[in-house]
Amino acid sequence: MQIALNARILQAPRTGIGHYLAELVNALGQEPDISLSLFHGWGWSSQLPSAAMPGYSRLSPVLRQIPGAYQARRWLEQRRFDQGRPGNIQLYHEPSLWPLAFKGPTVVTLHDLTHVHYPATQPAARLKEIERRLEQGVKQASLILTDSQFIADEAQAYFGLGPERFVVAPLGFAPRFHPRTDADLRQVLQAHGVEPRGYFLCVGTLEPRKNLGLALRAHAQLPESLRQRLPLLIVGMAGWKAQQLDDELRKGLASGHVCLLGYLPDEDVAHLVAGARALVFPSIYEGFGLPVLEAMASGTPVILTRRSAMPEVAGAAGNYIEPEDVHGLCDAMSRLADDQVHWQVSREAGLQQAKLFSWDRCATLTARAYRQVLGG
């Protein structure tokens, strides 16, 4: 099977969808009957493009102010997609939002409906373009892949499509996410000023949907001695409306008990996840929640909300809270800090739960969807 895969998003710093695409491409390489051609926005390649660092922007703030800027760039991408595409392509897979035009069969990955529930997380011009193109792209797709059953159910209701149009292909975790000894952790952790199991960790783009303000408020309510022993580290780049966190972040940073690390290399993130006392993931809405799985695979207990797709990922291993419950989160953090038996039970449950997920399984289900579309 000759598959065209839109890999343009891999030019950006790799957050959730970028990691999904990179790991899926690598895992699909183990499928003997699949040959991938990757479109990287300006041309075609058989190799994964290198990831940009935080200076990358989908569209610069200046260009966002120009009427029709998104449409103009889209038109140019479509021309590049058409002009250089290998002639033997049988199927086109769009892994992020709306697909480019293609006369053959198309498979689309729909990760979530964030633009519907939280439109403020998108610049206005981009949101308008999503609304204009996504529904058409979803309806033209032969099959729609989702990361979770929750999103499949939600999308069926929203777009008015039957379940036969959807294939659930849960995500996996990269090999770098695994339990590590204190000796393995110490060098990277010391570079960030912490010791193994000596901090709470938040991972995610700084934006309202991630609900990091709840983590900051709950941590601030912990006893001073506990905050000193277990500071809160936040890994992630600034997202849309990140300034809403400014007051809470300033207070936490000024106290010396909160550290904002920004966007870090993948290996640093993997070490920090494996070394944390717990991952605090109070997100309001996720199509999957990849950091939850990565933490469990690393032997790190997880505190998370019982919302959207996240219970599908964490199962019985999660320490669940409500997304507005500061006291509930404070209690969950205190228990994982001081109750070693509960911490160990949560760790073991997470390690077992993580075994249910892998990128190989995701690739197998994806390849099966390709074969179904092509009649194989």
CATH at residue 152: 3.40.50.2000
Residue 371, judged by CB atoms within 10 A of its CB (0-12, 13-18, 19+), counts as middle
All residue ranges of the chain with pLDDT < 70 are: 50-67, 121, 237-247, 252, 376
Quick one: 213 and 331 in the same domain?
yes
Global pTM exceeds 0.85: yes
Quick one: 106 and 225 in the same domain?
no
CB 212 within 8 A of CB 204: yes
Quick one: 117 and 187 in the same domain?
no
CB 182 within 8 A of CB 196: yes
Q: What is the pLDDT of residue 332?
A: 98
Quick one: 329 and 213 in the same domain?
yes
Q: Which residue has the tokens 């949101």?
A: 127
Quick one: 18 and 48 in the same domain?
yes
Residue 93 lies in a domain: yes
Quick one: 161 and 301 in the same domain?
no
Residue 291 lies in a domain: yes
Q: Which residue has the tokens 């994982």?
A: 336
Residue 151 lies in a domain: yes
Which residues constitute the domain of residue 256? Answer: 182-354
Characterise 235 by phi-psi region: left (phi > 0), alpha (psi -120 to 50), beta (else): beta
Residue 276 lies in a domain: yes
Residue 177 lies in a domain: no
Total tally of structural domains belonging to the chain: 2
* Three-state DSSP class for residue 319: strand
Q: What is the pLDDT of residue 251?
A: 76
- Helix residue spans in the chain (DSSP H): 16-28, 61-64, 69-83, 114-117, 124-140, 149-159, 182-191, 212-221, 224-229, 246-255, 266-275, 290-297, 310-314, 326-338, 340-354, 359-373
Quick one: 362 and 348 in the same domain?
no
Quick one: 158 and 261 in the same domain?
no
Quick one: 8 and 68 in the same domain?
yes
Quick one: 136 and 248 in the same domain?
no
Quick one: 275 and 343 in the same domain?
yes
Quick one: 81 and 7 in the same domain?
yes
